[in-house]
Amino acid sequence: MQEVEKIVSVCHKIYNKGYVSAFDGNVSVITHKNTVLFTRSGVCKGEITADDILEFDLKGLLIKGEGRITTEFKLHLFAYSRRPDVSAIVHCHPVYATAFSLVGEGLTDHYFPEVILTLGKVPLCEYGTPSTNDLPLSLEPYIEHSWAYLLQNHGAITLGRDLDDAYYKMEKLEHTAETIFKARMLGTPKTLSPDDISKLLKISEETYGIKVDPRNIY
């Protein structure tokens, strides 16, 4: 199955990039059969194989595969249930993005044009105890419009229209967090002005057909 090979490839990428360590993180994708492929619990993402991918229906019932499912599966099912435009999810613990979550700060100021157009604001979701419904419900205030989230004292999650989209959003998120962190070591980074942002959104829509949800900007 092509989706299985792709999810394995993404898992290897996030491990090699240092976005997860040991058995951290999970990745899922909705298949052409409208089922969900999900990484099993307790396996290093750098060593994951096709045998470590489980298949579920959209209610969370196991269809195929052997192994234990992480309770963070609830996080993925919640996002899929609320976002029909989402077909893949990546959850990691990238160092810089997670560091922002530890100090209680989302990435909501606008510094980079490309981040505005790909991620928009990255909100901080209130801490939710793993395995409880508090974790998926922490996304509730932002689930209708956000593509990336910082989970307080936990990590980060990105949504995508496909696996590549979800993965590259995670890559962009961590790169952004690291750049802001290092800029603050040098001084006070300058944000884009409201006028700069308005011009960018106008040009992106008229020239490239990219329309950004204003709830994810302002």
Catalytic residues: 72
Of 71, 80, 18, the residue nearest 42 (C-alpha): 71
The total number of residues shown for the chain amounts to 218
Determine if residue 75 is left, alpha or beta; phi over 0 gives left, psi from -120 to 50 gives alpha, anything else beta.
alpha
The strands making up 53-56's β-sheet, listed across from edge to edge, are: 62-64, 53-56, 36-39, 26-30, 88-92, 155-160, 148-151, 124-125
What is the distance between the alpha carbons of residues 197 and 143, in angstroms, rounded to a whole number?
A: 23
Question: Tokens representing 173?
Answer: 């998120």
Dist. CA 36–CA 28, nearest whole Å: 7
Picking from 95, 141, 145, the residue whose alpha carbon sits closest to that of residue 120 is 145
Q: Identify the H or E element spanning 90.
A: strand 88-92
